[in-house]
Structure 1
Amino acid sequence: MARVPRTPSPLLLAGLLAAAGVAHFAVPEPFESIVPRALPGSPRAWTRASGAVELALAAGLAVPRTRHFSARASALFFVAVFPANVKMAYDWRDRPATARALAYGWLPLQVPLHLWARALSRPTTG
């Protein structure tokens, strides 16, 4: 039987954040489309900024010395980007069922990502 680690992998979360950060720069259009209109400035600027933050958080999670701070910041980041995910779900309400399922499914996925980051922010023992 496989052993389940007590602490979720910081490097796996770092990899997910890094991949998302790179995607913000490589293919910015999908991200720009979900930037809430209430935010000032251009959607491209917000997309680049959030991609840069994801890359910085990924780097911080990968380094044990900065992991605690980066994990706390990652938890806050997942809360901060939630409105964009809500906007995506709303905007995609008339799309085909597969696209809607992706958009709606992404909303509850934010909860375990947030909890994962919070778990990594706790001091390790022993």
Structure 2
Amino acid sequence: MRRDIEVMAGAFVGIGILHFVRPRPFERIVPKPLPAKKQLVLASGAAEIALGAMMLNPGTRRLGGLGAVGLLAAVFPANVQMTLDAVRSKRTPTWFTIGTIARLPLQAPMIRIALKAARS
């Protein structure tokens, strides 16, 4: 397996666990119109853990990669919301705002890696 797939799978598992350990930061970036923020955070965390594990297993890597593509697309609005909140807040540190802006285009290479996992 390629190292990039392993790293992304590990990141999915680790960040998915954080959804359960510290859900509040994730709840804050759920787009405003969506209800049941805590439930959405827990569901996306469970999905990240499952998809990360699936990408590590050759028998489930294809489904895990395709699921990861879908999850990355589904959570992109939360990343946009986090960036908008950071840009609009006078209290947000500049380094954090820059990081949220820089994070948005990183979705593309992450989707490419997930697609690579689905093809392997």
TM-score (norm 2): 0.90
1:14 maps to: 9
2:62 to 42, 65, 68: 68
Match for residue 101 of structure 1?
98
Instruction: Summarize the alignment of residues 41-120 of structure 1 with structure 2, pairs less than 5 Å apart.
Output: 42-93=36-87, 94=89, 95-120=92-117
Partner letter of residue 113 of structure 2? W
SS of the equivalent of 1:92 reads helix
Pairwise CA distance, 1:35: 0.5
State the distance in 1 between where 2:112 and 2:6 align.
15
CA RMSD, aligned part only?
1.5
* Cα distance between partner residues in 2 of 1:90 and 1:69: 32
Give per-residue Cα distances to partners, 1:63-116, cap 9 Å, x unaligned.
110001110110111111000000000001032211101111111111111111
Partner of 1:34: 29
Distance apart, 1:9 and its partner CA: 3.5
Q: Which has the larger radius of gyration?
A: 1
> Are the aligned partners of 1:72 and 1:121 in contact in 2 as well (CA < 8 Å)?
yes
Aligned mates of 1:19, 1:105 — CA distance in 2: 21
Structure 2 spans left out of the alignment, 5+ residues: none
Partners of 2:48 and 2:72 in 1: CA distance: 10
Q: Tell me the alpha carbon deviations over residues 33-65 of structure 1, each in whole angstroms, 9 at most, x when there is no partner.
A: 00012223x211111010000011011111110
Tell me, which stretches of 5 or more residues in structure 1 are unaligned?
none
* Count of aligned positions: 117
Q: Which has the higher helix share?
A: 2
